[in-house]
Amino acid sequence: MTDSNDPVVRGYLMQLIGEEGIEMIENMPEGEVTDEQIAEASGVMLNIVRRTLFIMNENKLAVCRRERDSSSGWLTYLWQLDLSDIESHLVKEQKRIVKNLEMRYNFEVDSVFYTCPEGCVRFEFKEASKCEFMCPVCGEDMMFEDNSKTVKKLRVRLDALEASS
């Protein structure tokens, strides 16, 4: 089983299912269990357990099997964690982050920005010129923004992520 204490895995799971979801995973009984059994064992509310299980099932991190009771006709859902494929999820997430950072980096490099000195707004040159370089919120004159530090931070982050892949 994958170590949920690994900071990368934990960060991904935190984003996906939150702190209560992680608590549920850490206290979940082994084997196929019902959502009620999971809630009882983990101390997490049943509705949160169900929401977490469905999210994990959608992301192929949990497997669900339905069983029909022959006498009552009721369906019982049996759940089991399957974190064996989490590495591919992490790779996919890293690619998504790199793509978004590249878009943001290119936007920052290709644009000229003006900001309100009070921090109200940040506009590209074209939008700032439409407002005659006056903040539409507070009326202050907007100032040219040197975004070279932002560009540098984005480049460093991108380089680090690309080096680790």
- Domain spans in the chain, listed from the N-terminal domain onward: 7-81, 88-164
Are the C-beta atoms of residues 24 and 83 closer than 8 Å to each other? Answer: no
Tell me: pLDDT of 1 over 50.
no
Give me the pLDDT at residue 70, please: 86
Tell me: pLDDT of 4 over 80.
no
Tell me: pLDDT of 89 over 80.
yes
Tell me: pLDDT of 2 over 60.
no
pLDDT in tens, 44-81: 999 999 999 999 999 999 999 999 988 888 999 999 99
CA distance 129 to 163: 40
Are the C-beta atoms of residues 37 and 29 closer than 8 Å to each other? Answer: yes
pTM exceeds 0.85 for this model = no
Assigned CATH for 7-81: 1.10.10.10
Give me the pLDDT at residue 133, please: 96
| Angle, helix 7-26 to helix 46-58, in steps of 10 degrees | 140
Give me the pLDDT at residue 17, please: 94
Are the C-beta atoms of residues 35 and 41 closer than 8 Å to each other? Answer: no
The DSSP bridge pattern shows strands 122-124 and 113-115 to be antiparallel
Give me the pLDDT at residue 164, please: 78
What's the mean pLDDT when you consider all of the chain?
92
DSSP secondary structure letter of residue 28: P
Q: Residues 83-106: what's their mean pLDDT? A: 92
Phi-psi group of 60: left, alpha or beta (phi > 0 → left; psi -120 to 50 → alpha; rest → beta): left
pLDDT in tens, 98-139: 999 999 999 999 999 999 999 999 999 999 999 999 999 999
Q: Residue 119, Cβ neighbours under 10 Å: how many? A: 10
Q: Return all residues near 90 (Cβ < 8 A) that are at least 6 apart.
A: 8, 9, 12
2-6, 7-11, 15-19, 38-42: the lowest-pLDDT one: 2-6
